């Protein structure tokens, strides 16, 4: 990631922004992993989008800390409509998409995709620049919050599932336990 304009007041006063971006609608960004944060889920819960997004959410256990993502299909995010070449939830898209291709690392702004076709294209108003910067900062804050909270949520859910499994197992007859053990041995 290349460093772009730092988050300083004098950057906002420059005659020409150091970062110019106009979305080209190409869908290239939808080929990247789309990070989801707890604030996205909270927003979607309030506006009803959660029902459209929830079946396509996945937890990445390979990364530390745990992370949430939208599933992909045919090399693109499942929210990307291949026919219309548009996001199905564009007005309610995730923070990571709203900030794209800009990113904030807590101290400054970074370019997350130097190959984005929309970079240095067209004009960018101060308002648009401020909005994408605001989204990038908000995404960073959401990422930090999600990384702190998600492992606790996972631990609580796993603990609850383990308790319920123990309770259910204790209610089985000896014959049912033997059949279950047989099934589990076949699964190995």
Query: What is the mean predicted confidence (pLDDT) over 43-63?
Result: 89
Share of the chain above pLDDT 90, in %: 54
Q: Taking the domains of the chain in order of start, what are their residue ranges?
A: 2-148, 151-187
Q: What is the reported pLDDT for 43? A: 95
pLDDT of residue 116: 93
pTM comes to: 0.76
**Cβ–Cβ < 8 Å for 67, 35:** yes
Region of 93 please: left (phi>0), alpha (psi -120 to 50) or beta: beta
- Give yes or no for a cis peptide into 101 (omega within 30° of 0): yes
| Per-residue confidence (pLDDT) for residue 11, from 0 to 100 | 47
**pLDDT of 63:** 66
What token pair was written down for 28? Answer: 């290239």
């Amino acid at each position: 990631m290349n460093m772009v304009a730092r988050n300083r007041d004098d950057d906002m006063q420059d005659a020409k922004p150091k970062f110019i971006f106009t979305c080209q609608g190409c869908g290239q960004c939808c080929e990247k992993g789309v990070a989801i944060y707890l604030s996205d889920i909270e927003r979607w819960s309030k506006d009803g989008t959660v029902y459209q997004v929830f079946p396509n959410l996945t937890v990445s256990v390979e990364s530390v800390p745990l992370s949430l993502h939208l599933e992909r299909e045919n090399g693109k995010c499942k929210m990307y409509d291949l026919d219309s070449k548009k996001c199905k939830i564009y007005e309610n898209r995730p923070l990571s998409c709203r900030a794209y291709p800009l990113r904030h690392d807590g101290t400054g702004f970074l370019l997350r995709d130097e190959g984005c076709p929309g970079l240095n294209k067209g004009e960018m108003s101060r308002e648009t620049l401020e909005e994408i910067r605001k989204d990038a900062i908000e995404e960073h804050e959401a990422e930090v919050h999600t990384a702190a909270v998600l492992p606790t949520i996972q631990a609580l859910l796993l603990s609850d599932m383990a308790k319920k499994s123990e309770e259910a197992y204790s209610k089985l007859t000896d014959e049912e336990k033997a059949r279950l053990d047989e099934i589990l041995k076949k699964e190995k």
